[in-house]
């Protein structure tokens, strides 16, 4: 969830900032004397919506390092056996996955059992693991986790999710402006005064509030694509490290989640949440562990 939340937070901040700036500067060429030019509005929203998503992607590595205190490992001079093991596994798995360059490898201090990959491209990726994962998982399970994360990189999942988020951004921006324009017109008609309505700044504020609300309403769509891509990454890890290794990694995670020593919320490696039968499953970025294990046991479909 951290990777998803970081990306989502930066994305929505960028979109809201762009919207506020363009409104304040009067860059609203889609508004004409006859109302909204919907083609111009959709073009405007696609440019700025996709732009917001890709700015978030370009900042993803930097944001992860700064917000999580990730310590990068020098692959040529690893310090200690744990770092040497990570470098060896990432290098071997990256070669098997056909990555064009070795991703940056990092460790961050946290009791949670977690790993993630991020970055703007396969040649500029970051793979990070928590200290809790290294303490609580054996080498075979860690290999399965790394295979999963490197499969995300090889599959281009960061770019795919960015494109999906960009389309969502565009529609959110589009409908926010259409609704705000309708509200403005309704207020003008009620006041029977063309000088009434939301006003210049009121329109900008309403658009931003609507974008914020609509973005959260769109989260289930983005989360569904995220869950689908997790199954693909599991399958990728099964090809790289072997299905038994990936299943062992998931079983190790399930054991960690069932340990009472730590809060359940902190134990979400690959950020899995036990939310079966819960409405929160709609916005969960990962499927339940049992379903992922079952998919691996069934094999390629």
- Greater confidence (112 vs 246) lies with 246
H or E stretch at 115:
strand 115-118
pLDDT at 72 (0 to 100): 96
Confidence label for 169 from pLDDT (cuts 50, 70 and 90): confident
Q: What is the pLDDT of residue 279?
A: 62
pLDDT of amino acid 131: 94
Q: Average pLDDT of the chain? A: 83
Contacts within 8 Å (CB) and 24+ apart, 124-130: 124/61, 125/61, 125/99, 125/153, 125/158, 126/61, 126/64, 126/65, 126/70, 127/90, 127/103, 127/153, 128/64, 128/68, 128/70, 129/86
Q: Answer whether 284's CB lies under 8 Å from 273's CB.
A: yes
When pLDDT is averaged across residues 277-293 and rounded to a whole number, the result is 81
Quickly tell me which residue has 């983005």 as its tokens.
222
User: What digits encode the pLDDT tens for the residues 46-97?
Assistant: 888 888 788 888 888 988 898 889 999 999 999 999 999 999 999 999 999 9
**C-alpha distances out from residue 176 to 6, 37, 188, Å:** 23, 15, 18
Rounded mean pLDDT, 29-37:
74
For residue 4, the model assigns a pLDDT of 54
* pLDDT value, residue 2: 55
Residue 216 has pLDDT above 90, yes or no: no
pLDDT at 263 over 60: no
pLDDT confidence of 301, banded at 50, 70, 90? low
Q: Is the pLDDT of residue 19 over 90?
A: no
pLDDT at position 64 = 87
Cβ 18 vs Cβ 55: under 8 Å: no
Measured between alpha carbons, how far is 88 from 181 in angstroms, rounded to an integer? 57
State how far the Cα of 109 lies from the Cα of 68, in Å rounded to an integer.
Answer: 8
Residue 260 scores a pLDDT above 50: no
Q: Please compute the mean of the pLDDT values over residues 266-270 and round it to a whole number.
A: 41
Q: Per-residue pLDDT averaged across 120-124, rounded?
A: 93
Residue 116, classed as helix, strand or coil, is strand
Token pair in block for residue 2: 């951290």
Whether the per-residue pLDDT at 185 is higher than 90: the answer is no
What is the domain partition of the chain in residue ranges?
2-67+158-218
Position 89 scores a pLDDT of 97
Model pTM score: 0.81
pLDDT tens digits, residue range 34-59?
Answer: 778 888 888 888 888 888 788 888 88
Q: Percent of the chain having pLDDT more than 90?
A: 46
Catalytic residues: 149
- Cα 31 to Cα 181: distance, rounded to the nearest angstrom: 9
| Averaged pLDDT for residues 132-145 | 95
* Confidence category of residue 274, pLDDT binned at 50, 70, 90: very low
């Amino acid at each position: 969830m951290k990777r998803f939340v970081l990306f989502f937070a930066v994305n929505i901040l960028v979109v809201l900032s762009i919207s506020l700036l363009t409104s304040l500067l009067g860059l609203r060429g889609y508004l004409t004397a006859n109302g909204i030019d919907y083609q111009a509005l959709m073009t405007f929203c696609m440019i700025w919506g996709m732009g917001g998503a890709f700015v978030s992607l370009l900042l993803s590595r930097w944001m992860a390092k700064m917000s999580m205190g990730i310590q990068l490992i020098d692959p040529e001079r690893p310090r200690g056996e744990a770092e040497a093991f990570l470098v060896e596994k990432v290098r071997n798995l990256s070669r098997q996955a056909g990555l064009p360059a070795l991703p940056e490898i990092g460790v961050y201090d946290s009791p949670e059992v977690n790993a993630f990959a991020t970055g703007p491209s396969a040649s500029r990726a970051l793979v990070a693991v928590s200290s809790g994962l290294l303490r609580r998982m054996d080498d075979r399970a860690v290999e399965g986790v790394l295979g999963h994360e490197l499969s995300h990189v090889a599959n281009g999942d960061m770019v795919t999710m960015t494109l999906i988020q960009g389309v969502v951004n565009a529609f959110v921006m589009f409908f926010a402006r259409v609704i705000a324009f309708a509200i403005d017109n309704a207020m003008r008609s009620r006041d029977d005064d063309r000088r009434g309505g939301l006003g210049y700044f009121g329109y900008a504020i309403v658009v931003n509030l609507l974008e914020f609300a609509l973005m959260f309403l769109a989260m289930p769509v983005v989360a569904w694509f995220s869950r689908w891509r997790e199954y693909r990454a599991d399958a990728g890890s099964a090809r790289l490290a072997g299905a038994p290794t990936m299943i062992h990694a998931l079983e190790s995670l399930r054991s960690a989640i069932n340990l009472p020593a730590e809060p359940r919320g902190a134990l979400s490696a690959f950020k899995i949440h036990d939310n079966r039968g819960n409405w929160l499953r709609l916005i969960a970025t990962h499927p339940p562990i049992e379903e992922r294990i079952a998919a691996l046991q069934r094999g390629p479909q």
